[in-house]
Amino acid sequence: MSYTGADLIADGLATLGVEHVFGIVSIHNMPIFDAINRLGKTKIIDVRHEQGGTHAADGYSRATGKLGVMIASTGPGTTNTVTGLYEAQYGSSRVIVITGQAETAFYGKALGYVHEAENQLPMLRTVCRRAESPRHVDKLADAFNAVVDDIFTGRPQPGALEIPIDVQYAETSRPVFVKPGQVKFPGNDAAFDAIAEKLKRSSRRVIVAGGGVIAAGASAALKALAEKLDCPVLTSVDGRGSLPEDHALCVGNYYNSAGMYQSIGDADLTLAIGTRFAVGVDGQFAKQTPPGELIQIDIDPAMIGRTHRAHLGVHADAKIAIEAILGRISDVSGNDAQFNDKVWTSREGLRKAMRKRLGDDWPKVMDKLRSALPRDGLFVRDQTISAYNWGNQLFPIYEPRTSMNPTSGAIGPGFPIALGAAVATGKKTVVVHGDGGFMFHATELATAAQYQLPLLVCVFNDHGYGVLRWLQDTRFGRINETDIGKMNFAMLAESLGVPGERVKSPEEFAAAVDRGMAAKGPYLIDVEMEYFKPMEISIMPKKKN
């Protein structure tokens, strides 16, 4: 049997060890679907929308560090992937979109060829570090290798490969695939010597760990470094799990808290590893300068000093850097005890204050989810009131790659990200969602049902865009366009093949969680928030005129 461009793609994915791909079949990618299924080494997960599928590929990658793959059709199918690629770019995720294109004889002639998209490649390059479009089958292997290699080089980023339909059908020879991952960014000895000397001379140190620590597989090294320095570790939201949040030295995702920032204000050194210091909505954290001297280590040199001036910046892989530093500080002294005690006091005070603001009912909801979810279970949040008020900080995270959220701040990606993570790991995955964001991808419940994925979907239903409603009321004294009506998500889930139930109290929620965790496949809980005692919402400061 002949070996075609489509076979090359199937073979390349299998060679890379890709076990699952997400996709929607079309006339412009049918050869690839057929080749994957004939080869039998990669399973296709049929999603209901290309945006959801690209988010799922993102979740797949975040949960494992492996390549997440979405196969789309040219034109409208590919435009649908852009939001997912945008999120993957923002979240530093290894995602590739493989899509079709009009056959080369018609490409660029504007003759109205079905799904014609002559600017598809420049569009993809706005959200990908590298996108390729080979016009001959003999160039396909090089293009595939180049995109995949780029995705795995340095800071993880998404990529795209556009393949004209005639190239997919064309015969070719079996190529040699180049496995990614050979490129290392080891830093340099002089920089690590300088870091070690600064650490030895300091006595009030803090570490800020970002998602780069997790991406580099550096969590064990971070733990050893923190313990050697007896140093508090703060994390970004994407760095959660880089150190277990029940570890004595872990502060958690509180760097941007005003109270915590004040408590670390007299630190003489901040060691930032794999974080860009995202400034947040309204840029409210831009002036929150890291205290003391800032040492910034990042795999992406463009991130060093971008938000805050670094006194010493090192372009290096986080794991290589931390291990190099550890080898140079055998005689270092631990942190100043009074400084550490002030940080621990602030940490406990923040946690207590945040729990108190949740009122009587919501701490019970949070605690039930944490007790029901295994230590290595996955916890995914969308951008919603419950995420802002307890999911992103208070809910304990114990292991790397078990905490995920839309890094870009978008609403909607939470559910499909969780879906992809569940496919990747087979582990019980809990997703916390608001009703507004859930409606973006609710049809992916059918995907969860089709493959009986281990998902517990918790929709916190306040009949609108609750975060925006609160912001409008806070800033303008009125609300508009944020009420979206009442929806029975339990009935919706049932109609798509997923068991669901509505709950109106913490006790009903607890019982529903037990049923959902016991279920072999997906389960949805529709939480009617109006019946719960209210929580105090505190998301961001009031906009100044």
Mean pLDDT of 236-251: 97
Task: State the pTM of this model.
Answer: 0.94
Q: Which long-range contacts (CB under 8 A, 24 or more apart) does 112-118 make?
A: 114/27, 114/75, 115/26, 115/28, 115/73, 115/74, 115/75, 115/76, 115/77, 116/75, 117/74, 117/75, 117/78, 117/79
Q: What is the 3-state secondary structure (H, E, C) of 88-136?
A: HHHCCCCEEEEEEECCCCCCCCCCCCCCCCCCHHHHHHCCCCEEECCCC
Each residue's pLDDT tens digit, 153-176:
999 999 999 999 999 999 999 998
Mean pLDDT of 104-124: 83
Please list the residues that pair with 131 across neighbouring strands: 160
Residue 210 has pLDDT above 70, yes or no: yes
CA separation for the pair 23, 96 (Å, rounded): 12
Q: Please give the order of strands across the beta sheet that includes 43-46.
A: 43-46, 20-23, 68-72, 95-101, 159-164, 130-132
Residue 293 has pLDDT above 70, yes or no: yes
Residue 285 has pLDDT above 70, yes or no: no
Evaluate whether 317 touches 216 at the Cβ level (below 8 Å).
Answer: yes
Residue 32 has pLDDT above 70, yes or no: yes
CA separation for the pair 352, 347 (Å, rounded): 9
Each residue's pLDDT tens digit, 33-49:
999 999 999 999 999 99
45, 222, 299, 428 from 236: Cα distances, Å: 32, 14, 16, 24
Residue 398 has pLDDT above 80, yes or no: yes
Number of neighbouring beta carbons within 10 Å of residue 360: 11
Each residue's pLDDT tens digit, 490-508:
999 999 999 999 999 999 9
In this structure, what DSSP letter does residue 49 have? -
Domains for the chain: give ranges and CATH numbers.
5-169 (3.40.50.970), 189-342 (3.40.50.1220), 358-531 (3.40.50.970)
CA separation for the pair 404, 396 (Å, rounded): 13
Each residue's pLDDT tens digit, 326-357:
999 999 999 999 999 999 999 999 999 999 99
Residues comprising the chain, all counted: 545
First-last CA distance in the chain? 70
